[in-house]
């Protein structure tokens, strides 16, 4: 049996001294599954979707369970002839210009000035609906969760979004519209960059495991 976990740095295990202690590995150990951890620091949801679909349709290895840790909504993936990179409002570091592509700073400045947070949240809801349909079409069990539910981009809701909420399978979206990994691990030890550490990863793994058990997928 094979578990595919995908997300950003909170799935990757950023700031852990031992990546084998990340929640995907802990969950895999409890399930007795082989683990493929596609967590990637600073990943956007665009990147998560691209890499997930690419893996499922190109790798000749069946996946029995996918667990998605959705990233922060402001992150957007772009690409040029050099490669893929993520930009988000207010970002001022050099994460995506290390290859000398300094022109990307212009894009970051534009995104910081002109982004629309309602659009980002609407796009996220559409991404959830589409990826759940994709996984169901492949007969792959899945669980989704947010890194942070109390996200800046979700604080200005429009009434018609309730129709989008109705399309999302809440049974397979752990904590939908009320809590995410950072809320669950509030008060636990975190690294200098704000990532929860071993105790937090153990808590997340246990929470996902219990949710899967309650769905009846394991005894």
The model's pLDDT over 147-200, given as tens digits with 9 standing for 90+, comes to 999 888 887 666 677 889 999 999 999 999 999 999 999 999 999 999 999 999
Q: What is the pLDDT of residue 95?
A: 62
DSSP state string for 166-193: HHS-GGGEETTTT--HHHHTTTS-B-TT
* Least reliable range by pLDDT among 10-14, 71-75, 102-106, 205-209: 102-106
Note if the pTM is more than 0.85: yes
Q: Is residue 156 one of the residues assigned to a domain?
A: yes
Instruction: Tell me: pLDDT of 22 over 90.
Output: yes
Average pLDDT along the chain: 92
Nearest to 87 by CA among 97, 72, 75: 75
The total number of structural domains in the chain stands at 1
Domain containing residue 22: CATH number: 3.40.50.1110
Residue-number span of the structural domain to which 151 is assigned: 2-74+115-214
- Which one has a higher pLDDT value, 147 or 219? 147
Q: Is residue 10 one of the residues assigned to a domain?
A: yes
- Would you state the structure tokens that stand for residue 201, as one six-digit string? 């990863």
Give 23-65 pLDDT, tens digit per residue: 999 999 999 999 999 999 999 999 999 999 999 999 988 999 9
The answer to whether the CB of 189 falls within 8 A of the CB of 21 is no
Q: Is residue 109 one of the residues assigned to a domain?
A: no
* Least reliable range by pLDDT among 71-80, 147-156, 207-216: 147-156
CB atoms within 10 A of CB 204: 26
Q: What is the pLDDT of residue 173?
A: 98
Q: Is residue 107 one of the residues assigned to a domain?
A: no
Give 83-116 pLDDT, tens digit per residue: 888 888 887 666 666 677 777 788 888 988 999 9
Give 133-146 pLDDT, tens digit per residue: 999 999 999 999 99
pLDDT band at 8, cuts 50/70/90? Answer: very high
Partners of 5 in beta bridges:
37, 67
CB atoms within 10 A of CB 214: 10
Q: What is the pLDDT of residue 199?
A: 98
Q: Is residue 91 one of the residues assigned to a domain?
A: no
The answer to whether the CB of 198 falls within 8 A of the CB of 16 is yes
Q: Is residue 79 one of the residues assigned to a domain?
A: no
- Which one has a higher pLDDT value, 91 or 207? 207
């Amino acid at each position: 049996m094979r578990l595919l976990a995908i997300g950003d740095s909170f799935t990757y295990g950023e700031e852990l001294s031992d990546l084998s202690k990340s929640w995907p590995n802990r969950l895999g150990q409890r399930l007795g599954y082989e683990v493929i951890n596609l967590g990637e620091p600073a990943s956007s949801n665009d990147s998560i979707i691209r890499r997930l679909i690419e893996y499922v349709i190109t790798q000749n290895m069946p996946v029995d369970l996918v667990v998605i840790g959705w990233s922060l909504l402001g992150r957007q993936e772009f690409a040029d002839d050099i490669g893929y990179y993520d930009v988000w409002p207010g970002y001022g570091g050099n994460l995506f210009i290390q290859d000398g592509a300094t022109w990307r700073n212009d894009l970051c400045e534009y995104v910081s000035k002109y982004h629309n947070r309602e659009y980002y949240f609407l796009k996220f809801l559409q991404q959830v609906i589409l990826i759940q349909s994709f996984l169901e079409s492949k007969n792959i069990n899945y669980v989704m969760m947010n890194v942070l539910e109390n996200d800046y981009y979700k604080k200005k809701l429009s009434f018609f979004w309730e129709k989008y909420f109705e399309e999302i399978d809440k049974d397979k979206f752990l904590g939908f519209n009320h809590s995410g990994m950072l809320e669950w691990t509030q008060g636990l030890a975190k690294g200098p960059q704000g990532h929860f550490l071993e105790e937090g990863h153990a808590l997340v793994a246990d929470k996902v495991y219990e949710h899967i058990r309650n769905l009846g997928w394991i005894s």
